[in-house]
Amino acid sequence: MRRYLPTFFLIIGVLLSTVLQPVSGVRASQAQAATYTWQLVRWSDAQPLCLLEVNHEGLPTGVEIYTQCGAERYQEWLNTPPCTAAHTGGDTSACTGVYLRLITVTQVEGDTQDSASVENSPPIYAYALPPPEAWLDIEGCDFGNQGYNCSEAPKLVIHAQDSLPTEQIIKIDGNLNGAPFSCEGARCEVELTPTSEAGALMGFYAISSTGMSSSPYQARLRVIQVNNGWQVNVLSDRWQGDNLSSCAQIWDVFPPLGALPKWLTSPQNAADLASDVPYTYLAGQLITKGVVNAAECARLGLQGDGYANPCGLEKARAEVDTWHDRFDPQIITAANTIGIPAQLMKNLIAQESQFWPGSYYLSPEERGLGQLTPEGADTLLLWDHTTFTELCPNVMHTDTCQKGYPALAEEQQTFVQGAVMQRVDADCAHCFMGIDLGKAALSIEWFQRYGRPTTNFPLITSIQQ
């Protein structure tokens, strides 16, 4: 999981730009110096937001926009999508974001200055190309149940690649536990030395021949010397190797040394996730729905609260074991998606519903295998903007949805919460047992949304040196 550090300083490469319309005005000769004055202008109302000056032809760079206009305006410029209306001569007031406009060019020759106004300068559309990327791997080591086992001194390998096939990575820079390192080219081998059990931090980034740099990446490394070599663990969203079955990536902390407890394991084969827990509520539901015949038992195998009594559980045991393992493939997929142990997710579902996805008579507002409530849906919509934008247009006008979930009236928020609840509600009056098994399985995907990383707040990150 990437950790967002305070922005003490910014590592940003020069953003490449495609100029769709030529900039009219005075062009300085090679013998003359010139100052170019630009405005950063809002599309919606043509309001100038910032004035900046550069001493070179072409667009201001991302660094210049950041230093002269500030982080907020820089981020707004960086996130601006193309304005289609500007290409067709249409109304640009509906476009979002900002554009650059050249205002004046001041030429200096000797002791004289000549300032020329650039009339009706067209907007400049600066599309930032995808930056280069870098990934981590380890070579010469074997993965085991406690991490990577290395018989020789381990080396971490950083691989980088440019976004353009015509360009190349010229350099990889970084630091490990405060010690800087640098490699020429697209591959960098970093020799590892023993660390504490808490591990050591590493920051790194790649630089392209275009002048653009990758995002600053971070990793946490643990290197423990053992009798037969070294044991290595790596936590990073750039890691391409295998990971321990634990919540280590989410919490950015290594599990204790030694074998992992079962609840932190994550088998990839559904058969290995099977269990034999005697779920009495599940047994009671299977008896009530007629799946299991417990007529020979006292009270037809049921207690007064709907749970199975000992006789009913015995009658239903084979069906119970089959039932609670039927969702294991979906649990494994969901757990892998968000990086938590599959056994942990299965245990959570067992605690919530005992794998019966129908509504519970004491809490009829709860839905799905994860027993989602409207309050839980409210939390999800506040936290995960992707879920909100996916569901909101189903119940309200798009213009209303653009306000964002926190800005909606309480009644409108209730509508969107209802859309979430409808997705996980497996109750089905005309289905066998009153359960829609397809929606029951789908509710696991919604359950895992609570653990996935959110993209609500775009942040500028930096490597702290």
- pLDDT surpasses 50 at 31: no
Instruction: Say how far residue 88 (Cα) sits from the centre of its chain.
Output: 35
d(Cα 463, Cα 465) in Å, to the nearest integer? 6
With a CB cutoff of 8 Å and minimum separation 6, the contacts of 269 are none
Q: Which of 128, 129, 124 is nearest to 41 (CA)?
A: 124
What pLDDT does 272 receive? 83
| CB-count burial class (<10 Å; 0-12, 13-18, 19+) for 409 | exposed
Residues 349/335, Cβ–Cβ less than 8 Å: no
How many CB atoms lie under 10 A from the CB of residue 64? 18
- pLDDT surpasses 60 at 23: no
Confidence of residue 129 (pLDDT cuts 50, 70, 90): low
What pLDDT does 250 receive? 63
User: What's phi and psi for 367, nearest 5 deg?
Assistant: -135, 150
Confidence of residue 113 (pLDDT cuts 50, 70, 90): low
Instruction: Say how far residue 202 (Cα) sits from the centre of its chain.
Output: 20
For 287, half-sphere exposure in the C-beta direction (CA atoms, 13 angstrom radius) is 29
- Give kind and range of the element (H or E) at residue 205: strand 200-208
For 170-184, 264-278, 288-302, which range has the lowest pLDDT when averaged over its residues? 264-278
For 215-219, 390-394, 457-461, which range has the lowest pLDDT when averaged over its residues? 457-461
d(Cα 62, Cα 46) in Å, to the nearest integer? 21
pLDDT of 284-334, one tens digit each? Answer: 999 999 999 999 999 999 998 889 999 999 999 999 999 989 999 999 888
Q: Which of 366, 340, 344 is nearest to 353 (CA)?
A: 366
Share of the chain above pLDDT 90, in %: 34
State which CATH number among 3.40.50, 2.60.40, 2.60.120, 3.30.70 fits the domain covering 133-259: 2.60.40
- pLDDT surpasses 90 at 170: yes
342-353 and 437-448 helices cross at what angle (nearest 10)? 120
What pLDDT does 378 receive? 93
pLDDT average, residue stretch 43-59:
85
d(Cα 235, Cα 193) in Å, to the nearest integer? 16
Confidence of residue 5 (pLDDT cuts 50, 70, 90): very low
Domain spans, the chain: 33-117, 133-259, 261-356, 365-465
* Report field, pTM of the whole predicted structure over 0.75: no
With a CB cutoff of 8 Å and minimum separation 6, the contacts of 185 are 169, 170, 171, 172
pLDDT average, residue stretch 351-380:
88
Structure tokens at 246: 């634990």
- Give kind and range of the element (H or E) at residue 385: helix 385-391
d(Cα 286, Cα 280) in Å, to the nearest integer? 10
Confidence of residue 108 (pLDDT cuts 50, 70, 90): low
What pLDDT does 43 receive? 87
What pLDDT does 458 receive? 31
Q: Which of 179, 450, 440, 145 is nearest to 285 (CA)?
A: 440
- pLDDT surpasses 80 at 7: no
In b/e form, how buried is each residue of 331-353, taking b as 16+ CB within 10 angstroms?
A: bbebbbebbbbbbbbbebbbebb
